[in-house]
Amino acid sequence: MRSLWCERAMVDTGGIADAVRIGIDAGGSVVSAVPGTEPQDGDEVLPGVAVPAAANAHSHAFHRALRGRTHDRGGTFWTWRETMYRAAGALTPELYEELATAVYAEMVTVGFTSVAEFHYVHHRPDGSPYGQGTDGADPHAMELALARAAVQAGIRLTLLDTCYLAGGFGTPLDDVQRRFSDGTAVHWLERLASLRTTIGALYAPQQVSVGAAIHSVRAVPAGELAVIARHLPDELPLHVHLSEQHAENEECLRATGRTPTGLLQHHGLVTDRLSAVHATHVTDEDIGLLAHAGAVVVLCPTTEADLADGLGPAGDFRSAGVDLALGTDQHAVVDPWLEMRALEHGERLRTGSRGHFDPHALHGIASLGGSRAQNRAGPGFGAGQVADYMVVDARSTRTAGSAADQLAYSATGQDVTGVVVGGVVMARDGVHATLGDPGELVAAAIARLDAETYPREHH
């Protein structure tokens, strides 16, 4: 058994205890957490305030290559998407492993210890599967690249293998989208089953697990939704981009007579294993359907702001009893503290009042909500909980003077002094324990991706 000693820790419903010594078993779960104790020889000492680590419930790792590079000409979500597709077209398994390793290391250093990767870049750029031909590639080359990246970074990965079959309602795939598609839901389900077998043979589930995703109702025709509803294994978490844009809602209504939530409900896909990502433009009826089913809603406040998606009804979801989670999506920001704060700030802007989500609620959304969306045990200080923590400096330029139980409203990822995964310290002061400075890793990976994406500019 290993032990951590925390100068201070959020050990119960928002309360902060001093001098907490935590015993952790070989599996990385808490055995005991005793306040008011002195550290002992061999303890890992963590100065600052320890809180449960954050669980990133929505990620597209390769989108990190677009940060700070899409703001010079305005535009919309749809024009941003064209730039994103160009980057997607340049990815190889080797490039994706390098970039994802850097992105996951960045996540770890600021306090994320698990991530749900919404993954749809499955095949070669021409749409042909990996594993065909004589190059020796594994059929799951892209998926295994992400798994290796997560293991290198020490982050728990839920690999959400995504079904993507159409370019829109009644619209075929374009050239870039071909590599996303398996052709039919049946073929996707077959590849998903093979992927689960492959990942299960290589990794423990607490390290890498496989879930499922429907990209969106515009990318999976209604008949294929019915196939997925009938045949997707019950134990898998299921995620979907839902009502992120007004245009998606309008097109869905024209094509099917239903809202995206209503269409999923019609096919039996709105259940307690569903995580609806964004849900920015849902109706009151949609909220009721999601609440009644016990679904999770994954909000990505900094991405929704960056892409001008709009302010989702976070308070309405909470009032209806919907569990919330947070994701970084396109990684315009990778910082759980800023996502927490943006959630409350969005509600203040939407309603004109303060105090919708207190600090304890925000930590619960960031840690337990995101863990539930991944079908993972949540972090905490109680016996049997996962020993995943982020430790923040309460005396930094940003946090000095803050009440220890209100750091969610003053801290940022820059203030994280330690990150623990399963009782093992994986980062200190912004530096990854084994990979070093994530900024250097990201810069190198993006430079190589740029050389593939924009070859003329590099020759």
Q: Catalogue the E-assigned strands of 296-360.
A: 296-299, 323-326
| Enzyme catalytic residues | 278, 329
What count of residues does the chain have? 459
**β-pairing, 416-421 with 2-10?**
unpaired
Angstrom distance (rounded) from CA 300 to CA 285: 22
Helix (H) or strand (E) holding 424: strand 424-428
Tell me which long-range contacts 307-310 makes (C-beta under 8 A, separation of at least 24). Answer: 307/77, 307/80, 308/76, 308/77, 309/77, 309/244, 309/245, 309/278, 309/280, 310/280, 310/281
Taken in order 394, 396, 402, 408, the sign of the CA dihedral is: negative
Contacts of residue 230, defined as CB under 8 A and 6 or more positions apart, other chains included, come to none
Contacts of residue 401, defined as CB under 8 A and 6 or more positions apart, other chains included, come to none
Angstrom distance (rounded) from CA 122 to CA 224: 18
Q: How many CA atoms lie within 13 A of 72 on its CB side?
A: 5
